[in-house]
Amino acid sequence: MNPIQYKPKDKDAFALEENGQRIAEMIVDINQGILSVYHTGVLESAQGRGLGTRLIDAMVAHAREHQLKVFTYCPFVKRHFQRHAYEYADVWQKEL
């Protein structure tokens, strides 16, 4: 499977493409040390393959590598962080 790429000039997104088509993306913004997550989407035909979680893993790795805190407006990411709070304690900014 193709790697997830951070594309700062393309909607500021973490994206996964397959056969030349974007099948999953996470829209973010990075400002003043905060990586804000706005939306996570996976094409219907690609759902059920764990792609949303792979996007989260890529985003969190990026945040850790660049010493960023993560604040999420995205319900999917928020639920995931809540379920695994200890795993993300070092990056999760619960309030702004």
Any domain includes 46: yes
Any domain includes 96: no
Q: How many domains does the chain contain in total?
A: 1
- pLDDT tens string for the chain (96 positions)? 689 999 888 778 999 999 989 999 999 999 999 999 999 999 999 999 999 999 999 999 999 999 999 999 999 999 999 999 999 999 999 998
Do residues 51 and 76 make contact, with C-beta atoms less than 8 angstroms apart?
Answer: no
Any domain includes 80: yes
Any domain includes 82: yes
- Domain containing 73: what range? 5-88
Any domain includes 58: yes
CATH number, domain with residue 74: 3.40.630.30
CA torsion sign for 5, 62, 51, 73 is: negative
Q: Give the pLDDT confidence score for residue 9 in this predicted structure.
A: 83
Any domain includes 69: yes
